[in-house]
Amino acid sequence: MKTYDAVIVGGGIIGGSIAFDLARRNLRVAVLDRQELMREASWAAAGMLSPAPDCPSAIPLVPLGRASLALYPKFVEAVEVASGMRTGYRNGGAIEIICHGDVGRELSTLVALLHGLGLACEPLPLDEARKMEPALGRDARAAAFLPDECSIEPRALTAAVLVAAESAGAALCPGVEVTSLLFSEKKCAGVKTSSGEIFHAAQVVLAAGCWSSQIPEAAPYAPTLPVRGQMAALRHFGTPIQYVLRSERGYLVPRGLESPQTLVVGSTIENAGYEKRVTSGGIEKILSAANELAPLLEKAEILETWCGLRPGTPDQLPILGPVDVDGLLFATGHYRNGILLAPITAKLIGEWIAERRTSMDWEAFSPLRFLGAKENRSVTA
Ligand SMILES: Cc1cc2nc3c(=O)[nH]c(=O)nc-3n(C[C@H](O)[C@H](O)[C@H](O)COP(=O)(O)OP(=O)(O)OC[C@H]3O[C@@H](n4cnc5c(N)ncnc54)[C@H](O)[C@@H]3O)c2cc1C
Say if ligand 1 is within 6 A of residue 15 CB.
yes
Share the mean pLDDT of the chain.
Answer: 95
Domains along the chain with CATH numbers = 2-76+154-224+314-370 (3.50.50.60), 94-147+226-312 (3.30.9.10)
Q: pLDDT tens digit string along 150-207? A: 999 999 999 999 999 999 999 999 999 999 999 999 899 999 999 999 999 999 999 9
Q: pLDDT tens digit string along 232-252? A: 999 999 999 999 999 999 999
At residue 368, the pLDDT reads: 97
Local confidence band at 282 (pLDDT 50, 70, 90 cut-offs): very high
Q: b/e per residue, 304-334, with b = 16+ CB within 10 A?
A: ebebbbbbbbebbbbbbbbbebebbbbbbbb
Picking from 23-27, 60-64, 97-101, which range would have the lowest pLDDT averaged per residue? 97-101
The residue whose C-alpha atom lies closest to atom 27 belonging to ligand 1 is: 209
Give the separation between CA 178 and CA 104, rounded to whole angstroms: 52
Q: Is the pLDDT of residue 378 over 70?
A: no
Q: pLDDT tens digit string along 283-331? A: 999 999 999 999 999 999 999 999 999 999 999 999 999 999 999 999 9
Contacts made by residues 109-113, CB under 8 angstroms, sequence distance 24+: 110/144, 111/144, 113/53
At residue 375, the pLDDT reads: 44
Say if ligand 1 is within 6 A of residue 246 CB.
no
Beta-carbon contacts of 325 under 8 Å, excluding residues fewer than 6 positions away, are 183, 186, 187, 188
Q: Is the pLDDT of residue 377 over 50?
A: no
Nearest atom, ligand 1, residue 47 CA: 8
Say if ligand 1 is within 6 A of residue 327 CB.
no
Residue whose C-alpha is closest to residue 278's, from 252, 307, 302? 307
State the average pLDDT over residues 203-217. 98
Q: How far is the CA of 365 from the centre of ligand 1 (A)?
A: 18
User: Percent of the chain, pLDDT > 90?
Assistant: 94
Contact by Cβ (8 Å): 207, 161? no
